Amino acid sequence: MNTKSLAAVCLLAMLAISCATIDVDFDYDHASDFTTYKTYNWVDGFTTPLETSNPLLHKQIVTLIEEELNRKGYQKSDNPDMAIVYTTTSKEMKEVSTQTTYYAHGYYRGWWYDPMWGAGATTARVDTYTEGTLMIGFFDTETEKLIWRGWATATIRDPRDLDQIGNAIDYMLSKFPPGQ
């Protein structure tokens, strides 16, 4: 295997590993005809917590969503077929892991012989991490009903990591519109 092939395989493996850390799901109104939707805009008057707490990140998320929709052929319009909202949540998670180490004394004569067989110590470790969720919703502007909703959940290492946010948006919107 030449160096370029090896580099490509390593890059694909790293991408696959990074993709595995994002859990994506979606749901939609099965009665909606998604072929009729061609234009979008943001829900008028809806604000997300990021708009005030981190306006730069908010703008970047909006841009990433709009870029992906434009790639799919949707047009931003003042009179849209669909209205979009997004929101984010985060929560602190704890993971507890234990490890037990057994000690044996002397040489092995059978478990019934050594009175210290099975003695040991158990250690516990608590890891704390932040889990973040990005949710995107599409509404039919005529009926004002939710037609599609997607969410991506991942461990947040750096809340400003645009690659992770971009990957979450790409994976989520790869399911939009449903059936395509």
Residue 13 is assigned to a structural domain of this protein: no
pLDDT in tens, 131-154: 889 999 999 999 999 999 999 999
What single letter denotes the amino acid at residue 126? Answer: V
Residue 43's SS3 state is: coil
* Structural domain harbouring 135: 22-94+130-173
Residue 99 is assigned to a structural domain of this protein: no
Residue 125 is assigned to a structural domain of this protein: no
Residue 45 is assigned to a structural domain of this protein: yes
The model's pTM is 0.70
Q: What's 144's DSSP letter?
A: -
Residue 124 is assigned to a structural domain of this protein: no
Residue 178 is assigned to a structural domain of this protein: no
User: In this predicted structure, what is the pLDDT of residue 142?
Assistant: 95
> Which residue is listed with tokens 């704390």?
128
What does DSSP say about strands 82-103 and 39-42: parallel, antiparallel, or unpaired?
parallel
Residue 16 is assigned to a structural domain of this protein: no
> Which range is most confident: 69-73, 155-159, 162-166, 176-180?
69-73
109-129: average pLDDT: 66
112 confidence band (pLDDT: 50, 70, 90): low
Query: For the chain, how many structural domains are there in total?
Result: 1
30-55: average pLDDT: 89
Which of 20 and 130 is assigned the larger pLDDT?
A: 130
The least confident of 38-42, 67-71, 93-97, 107-111 is 107-111
**For the chain, how many helices (H) and strands (E)?**
4, 6
Residue 73 is assigned to a structural domain of this protein: yes
Q: What is the CATH number of the domain that holds 156?
A: 3.30.160.670
Helix ranges, the chain (H) = 3-20, 49-53, 55-71, 162-173
